[in-house]
Amino acid sequence: MAQDMRTYLADLEAAGELVRVTREVDPDLNMGGLAFQAASRLNKAVLFENISGHPGWKAASYICGSRSKLAVSLGTTSGKFLQELRSRLQKGLTPIRMVDDGPVKEIIMKGSDVDMTRIPFHKMADADAGRYSGSGMHLVKDPETGVRNISLHRNQLQGPNQLGILIAPTRHLHMVYQKYEAMNKPMPVAVVYGHHAAYYLAANYTASYDVDELEVAGSILGEPVEMVKCETIDLEVPAHAEIVVEAEIPPHKRIVEGPFTEHTGYSRAGAGLNPYLEVKCITMRRNAVYYALQGGRPIAESQVLDGAPMEMVLFERLKDVGGFVNLKDVVVPPYVGGAHLVIIQLAPRVEGEVNDVLMAALSSQYIHPRIVIAVDEDVDPHDPQQVFWSLSTRCNPATHTFVVPETKGLTLDASARLVSPPGVFPQIRLGSKMGINACKPPVRLAEEREEHRISVPQGMGEYRIEDFVT
Ligand SMILES: Cc1cc2nc3c(=O)[nH]c(=O)nc-3n(C[C@H](O)[C@H](O)[C@H](O)COP(=O)(O)O)c2cc1C
Ligand SMILES: [Mn+2]
């Protein structure tokens, strides 16, 4: 049986990771805040079953909102999640399978029937311009090679058949759009709202430009993705998606989009004149469940979704720097906002090795990381307290840090200087990078390394306070 959003929701519920809300909620007033509380206070995903103004609709939030939930999607545990993801991807790509029909065609709306306002997009934060979606996987094809790409982009509800979009420069979608703009042709795009988490992991995995990310999705799913032809544009879409929106992005046309609260917690960066989608057709399942992904800090689903593939890709890259690195872990902390800060754990072997690894972490296919902290094998990179302790006791700022000025900045990084005209697409920022070595001296310098051994309170491990308290 094809794995889809419904099988994933059932698996989450069985694992105790999902709560249901039957009381009426309102997409403009409280859906965002309630979803956020379900995640932050209950650590649960939530299924809203009664949405004001949207009879018959259900919407799910935070289904990819923590490592333990993503682990459910791969049938594993949080601790084994990255290993499982890596082993599924190491099996290679899984070609798609074309089918003639699928559940996503149960309802088809074209022409004057198209009405995006029927889908319960919601206002996520106080600063937002209105209702948004963060769960749309944008599927496009390179006009020259036909290679498919999927990536998540925010969509502003701008009218019954118009959606705003933010396309950060250097994204694969931007490369494809630039090719269409050069031909002065509209870019066909199919947006998938709601599917199994494996699709979302594939959409956030930055594969090489020449890799079809639906074949990546198949490998993560462990079964070929079944695809059906679109009704109005020359693309194929996953047959078991909840909702598919068929659209075109016209060339060289812009409209004001935003503000919208991003994973940084800020809303202005990225907003301004941006491209938009003209919706041609909506196809969906009967009783479609909308994925009301919630943006903003401190637990942005985007941070969890972006973070997991990033940790895996960076681990693969860093372990081979200079031939071999005694690399223990790579952590994109879910609490920092925007994956701009990454912590790596290693036992350096020789002098200089840490800086080589830091540089590689700062210049991968991901542009997000701009501060990377290296800690040693006796410091838990998941524990902020231990990382801070390591920074304060092992990092001599004059000799253990470096800054690279003038590097590519992320569009959403408000701290990076905007070098293109304000509010004009594409927004180009100039940032910088910092590497911080909070490791012990390398293994080669045994004496100096020993000087940094962490002392243990006397008798720990042999005596238990419980046995002494009367
Ligand atoms: C929830 C979520 C929302 C996102 N929104 C945007 C967005 O609005 N614009 C953008 O350029 N990238 C956005 N991203 C990041 C890209 O989707 C992501 O980096 C993706 O891997 C890029 O695909 P590519 O490597 O094929 O270019 C978002 C990511 C997540 C998880
Ligand atoms: Mn891509």
* 435 membership: H or E segment, kind and range: strand 429-438
**Ligand nearest, relative to CA of residue 152:** 1
> What's the full length of the chain, in residues?
470
Q: Is 204 in the pocket of ligand 1 (CB under 6 A)?
A: yes
The mean pLDDT of 171-187, rounded to a whole number, is 97
- Which of 199, 224, 196 shows the shortest CA–CA distance to 213? 199
Write out pLDDT tens, residues 332-367.
998 888 789 999 999 999 999 999 999 999 999 999
Q: Is 306 in the pocket of ligand 1 (CB under 6 A)?
A: yes
pLDDT > 80? residue 11: yes
Q: Is 154 in the pocket of ligand 1 (CB under 6 A)?
A: yes
pLDDT > 90? residue 235: yes
Phi, psi dihedral angles at 305 (to 5 degrees) = -70, -45
What does DSSP say about strands 58-61 and 289-291: parallel, antiparallel, or unpaired? parallel
Query: What is the Cα–Cα distance from 54 to 119, expressed in whole angstroms?
Result: 7
Write out pLDDT tens, residues 85-123.
999 999 999 999 999 999 999 999 999 999 999 999 999
Decide which of 299 and 80 is more confident. 80
Q: Is 148 in the pocket of ligand 1 (CB under 6 A)?
A: no
What does DSSP say about strands 417-418 and 429-438: parallel, antiparallel, or unpaired? antiparallel
> End-to-end distance of the chain based on CA atoms, in angstroms?
59
pLDDT at 306: 86
Q: How confident is the model at residue 75 (pLDDT cuts 50, 70, 90)?
A: very high
- Which of 285, 18, 282, 249 shows the shortest CA–CA distance to 153? 249
Q: Atom of ligand 1 at shortest distance to CA of 175?
A: 27
Q: Contact at 8 Å (CB) between 372 and 358?
A: yes
Write out pLDDT tens, residues 123-159.
999 999 999 999 999 999 999 999 999 999 999 999 9
pLDDT > 90? residue 297: no
- Which of 280, 249, 286 shows the shortest CA–CA distance to 104? 286
The percentage of the chain sitting over the pLDDT mark of 70, rounded to a whole number, equals 99
Measure 350 CA to ligand 1 centroid, in angstroms.
Answer: 37
Q: Is 171 in the pocket of ligand 1 (CB under 6 A)?
A: yes
The closest residue, in CA terms, to atom 2 on ligand 1 is 302
Measure 366 CA to ligand 2 centroid, in angstroms.
Answer: 11
Q: Is 302 in the pocket of ligand 1 (CB under 6 A)?
A: yes
- Which of 137, 138, 171 has most ligand 1 atoms within 8 Å of CB, for mutation? 171
pLDDT at 1: 73
Q: Which residue has the tokens 């079964």?
A: 223
pLDDT at 303: 80
Q: Is 414 in the pocket of ligand 1 (CB under 6 A)?
A: no
Q: Which residue has the tokens 């296919």?
A: 365
Burial 91-105 (b: 16+ CB within 10 A, else e): eebbebeeeeebbbb
Query: pTM of the prediction?
Result: 0.95
The domains found in the chain, sorted by start residue, are: 5-301 (2.30.110.10), 319-451 (3.40.1670.10)
pLDDT at 181: 98
Q: Is 293 in the pocket of ligand 1 (CB under 6 A)?
A: yes
- Which of 353, 346, 351 shows the shortest CA–CA distance to 323? 353
pLDDT > 80? residue 376: yes
Measure 198 CA to ligand 2 centroid, in angstroms.
Answer: 15
Query: What is the Cα–Cα distance from 358 to 355, expressed in whole angstroms?
Result: 5
Q: Atom of ligand 1 at shortest distance to CA of 411?
A: 11
Query: What is the Cα–Cα distance from 376 to 389, expressed in whole angstroms?
Result: 12
Measure 55 CA to ligand 1 centroid, in angstroms.
Answer: 31
Q: What angle do CA 312, 153, 362 make, to 5 degrees?
A: 40
Q: How confident is the model at residue 299 (pLDDT cuts 50, 70, 90)?
A: low
pLDDT at 202: 96
pLDDT at 391: 98
pLDDT at 338: 78
Write out pLDDT tens, residues 255-264.
999 999 998 8
For the sheet with 289-291, list strands across it: 18-21, 45-48, 58-61, 289-291
Q: Is 168 in the pocket of ligand 1 (CB under 6 A)?
A: yes
Write out pLDDT tens, residues 397-426.
999 999 999 999 999 999 999 999 999 999
**Ligand nearest, relative to CA of residue 206:** 1
Q: Which residue has the tokens 């994973």?
A: 263
Query: What is the Cα–Cα distance from 269 to 266, expressed in whole angstroms?
Result: 7
The mean pLDDT of 428-454, rounded to a whole number, is 97
